Chain A
Amino acid sequence: MFKYAPFIMALFAPLSAHAASDEDLRNLGEQIKQLQDHQQQRILQLEQQLQQNVAAPPQNVRPASSEAAFNPAISLILGGTYGNLKQDPATPATGFAMSANPGHEQGFNLGESELVIEANIDPQFRGTGRFAIDPAGGLSAEEVHVQTSALGEGLTLKMGRFLSGLGYLNEKHAHTWDFVDQPLVYAALWDNQLSEDGVQIKWLAPATMFIEIGGEIGRGRSFPGTDRVKNGSGAGVLFAHMGDDIGFEHNWRAGISLHQTRRVNAISDAVPDLLNTTGGVSNSFTGDSRTAGLDFIWKYAPNGNVRQTHFTFLGEYFRRKESGLLTYDTATATATPTPNTTDSYAVTQSGWYVQSIYKFMRRWRAGLRYDRLDSGTAQVGASNATNVVSDYHYSPTRKTLMLDYSPSEFSRLRLQLAQDNSRQGLPDRQLFVQYIMSIGAHGAHQY
């Protein structure tokens, strides 16, 4: 019998254990009640605190963790333009056939649509990707760069593909332009905007006035560079900007820029010649290109409140000197009289514009711009003296009028009229209607 005792006890053990847990449960119930009381007191305290709102604890909002938590800021700029032109936009400004001619799009076109993705990479770097949406489909990399955020001492380093910091308008993205198009001088001398694959360093002086100095080196991929694909750099830029406030209502910025590149076998098509060859000829230029620029902007807003009324005056001047060897009529092998003649060539071309934008009431702005180019007088080597035009005796000009309406921060509708006399004997009246809108993250705009 006794030898079964442990077995029987073992059998009953769970029962006694149950008996014991009943007591525990009672204890637990009391503990819970205490806890509830305590919590109620705490809630009361918190409510009191909230009512007083004194020393309210900082909010502690924890977003649910997910892969998306580190998503970069993404925005899509939607732009579209309708252009009505009288002349063929492929015709370059008179005297600038050997320069860039980005021209205009006629009819309906998907203008400045682009996708922007940016975010901090880590405490040291920030990354930006800006892709233009080609009307034909596909994306092209407009700006893809990384930038330091923690160098300190006023230094910022940028690497990758970026818009050069020269001048004032060059760094502005197309959706922030005040007109549908760039000034003639930007179109002819920079193919609208100078973009570079390379490195940029900027230094901001430790002063209460804004003084910034910057330098860039790169492969010279965009006009007037000819895309150097070997060791070393193909183009260099130096710029300095300074600016300040005058009281609360006025502020300004002025700058000086220098650009230099070596052009190698730069081909220009449809260049007029002294023989009046139909459709022009193709010339090739190899030599140095040096450009200097000045820019000045002044802004005024009553009480400094830009939301109500705002006035902006902007002017820029660029002067480019090119010297080297020009090969006349590269396309023709044996035609008469003198194809493939190479001799020295040097020319200084310049251009400037001034523009004013007046925000006369909330949401509405009007703008006026005057453009002028000077194609200069080229010094043409003796062997090309009878072929190559040295002086066009014409100054291209353009007058532009703009009116835009912005229902919100994120949308803008624009009407632009231009009287374009940039091509001798081909005056053009241009009309543009444009929309620019953005969805997604909306980054801050540059000055």
Chain B
Amino acid sequence: MKKILFVVLLFASTFSHAALNIFTCEPEWAALAKELAADKINIYSATTALQDPHHIEARPSLIARARGADLVVCTGAQLEVAWLPLVLRTSGNSKIQPGNSGYFEAALYVTMLGIPARLDRADGDFHASGNSHIQTDARNFLPIADALSKRLIQLDPANTAFYHNRLQSFTQAWQAALLRWEKQAAPLKGTPIIVHHNGFPYLNNWLELKQITTLEPKPGMEPSAAHLAQVLAQLQRTPVRMVLRAAYHNPKSSQWIAERANITAVMLPYTVGGTSSATDLFTLFDDTIQRLLAGLK
């Protein structure tokens, strides 16, 4: 019996050394890791684009996957505060604990927006370190890719040259894509919009959309009928062109307001997998901009 256990453990350990095991909290980081490391890593994404990353359960499969991970890649900025700390603590894996090289927080490498001036839960559910939906500004992926590539090299120095080349070609392709997207999105500049959840400040900042208000009365609180009526009244004074929501948001509220205010309800993929065409990071932004442009018409 002991011998069998030993053999199983031996296999398990040699298996895990074949390639880095990466546990990503959100699909965008899984897609970025794939761009930077291709087949040198095994990727497991804890969430899909149809799940609200604030509200994930620390379910058994996540704990099991974290147990075998060499690197955890998450947004940070308290986006995953309701589940990730518990997953990490119960994983029994010392490599991926915060502060160790197996723990990577993307939000550390970008300029945060929406850092609250006062912290009071009477203002709703928000994060002290700023708005955590950093993946909606395509420019943020450059510094994060750079930092993530360095981390991959640190964990897997044998493939330094490979990671280096992948980063270079990703950076070049991404810079070219940025120019293309910004050119395509030029008609969107200054467009007044409203959003379901305050999850788009980075997108607004990048494409210079003008957000008038949100459907949620306070961050994380479901739009109430009374608040929607207020928003509708506000839209009569300050007309907007469209109402944005992420793929995982309930479409009811934005459809309700779109019908009455005669604006377009635009569902954005928000992350990789949010729509059938957003299959990787490049198509994610292709699709996002196409949908926004379609919303103008």
Contact = CB atoms under 8 A, between A and B. Distances in A.
A303 B248 CA distance: 9
Contacts of B58: 444-447
Contacts of B109: 56, 58
Given A53-B111, A53-B137, A56-B110, A152 B93 contact: yes
A54 B139 contact: yes
A241 B137 CA distance: 42
A45 to B, nearest CB: 16
Contacts of B147: 58
A303 B60 contact: no
A55 B139 CA distance: 9
A150 B88 CA distance: 11
A299 interface: yes
A408 B60 contact: no
Interface in A391-406: none
Contacts of A245: 59, 61
A154 interface: yes
B67 A447 contact: no
Nearest to B85: A444
Given A410-B121, A444-B81, A204 B91 contact: yes
Nearest to B86: A444
Contacts of A303: 48, 50-51, 248
Contact of A126 (B89, B140, B248): B89
Interface string A184-218: 00000000000000000011111111110000000
A243 B86 contact: no
A54 B121 CA distance: 34
Contacts of B91: 154, 204
A305 B16 contact: no
Interface in B223-258: 248, 250
A206 B9 contact: yes
B286 interface: no
B186 interface: no
Contacts of A243: 59-61
Interface string A230-243: 00000000000111
A148 to B, nearest CB: 9
Given A53-B139, A253-B60, A306-B55, A204 B90 contact: yes
A362 B224 CA distance: 11
B64 A59 contact: no
B71 to A, nearest CB: 15
A56 B91 CA distance: 33
B157 interface: no
B68 interface: yes
Contacts of A18: none
Given A206-B13, A207-B12, A447 B143 contact: no
Contact of B125 (A58, A203, A409): A409
Interface in B110-150: 110-112, 121, 124-125, 137, 139-140, 142-143, 146-147
B221 interface: yes
B64 A202 contact: no
A22 interface: no
B168 to A, nearest CB: 14
B108 interface: yes
Contact of B61 (A58, A210, A444): A210
A248 B47 CA distance: 9
B137 to A, nearest CB: 7
B143 A55 contact: yes
Interface string B40-65: 00000001101110111111110111
B68 A208 contact: yes
A439 B122 CA distance: 11
A362 B57 CA distance: 16
Given A55-B143, A243-B59, A251-B61, A206 B67 contact: yes
A15 B63 CA distance: 78
A207 B91 CA distance: 12
Contacts of B250: 308, 362
B57 A306 contact: yes
- From B9, B60, B248, name the one whose CB has the most chain A CB atoms within 10 angstroms: B60
A149 B86 CA distance: 11
B97 A304 contact: no
A363 B222 CA distance: 9
A4 to B, nearest CB: 70
A244 interface: yes
Interface in B8-51: 9, 12-13, 16, 47-48, 50-51
Nearest to B88: A149
Interface in B147-162: 147
A207 B69 CA distance: 11
A408 B97 contact: no
Contact of B90 (A53, A156, A308): A156
A152 to B, nearest CB: 4
Contacts of B64: 204-205, 207-211, 244
A202 B140 contact: no
A253 B140 CA distance: 38
A155 interface: yes
B220 A409 contact: yes
A229 B16 CA distance: 46
Interface string A301-340: 0011111100000000000000000000000000000000
B16 to A, nearest CB: 7
Nearest to B146: A55
15 contacts: A56-B111, A56-B143, A58-B143, A154-B93, A204-B92, A207-B12, A210-B64, A244-B61, A244-B64, A299-B59, A305-B51, A409-B82, A410-B121, A444-B82, A445-B58
Interface of A: 50, 52-56, 58-59, 123, 126, 147, 149-156, 202-211, 241-245, 248, 251-253, 299, 303-308, 362-363, 407-410, 439, 442-447
6 closest cross-chain pairs (CB), A and B = A243-B60, A210-B60, A444-B86, A154-B92, A303-B50, A210-B64
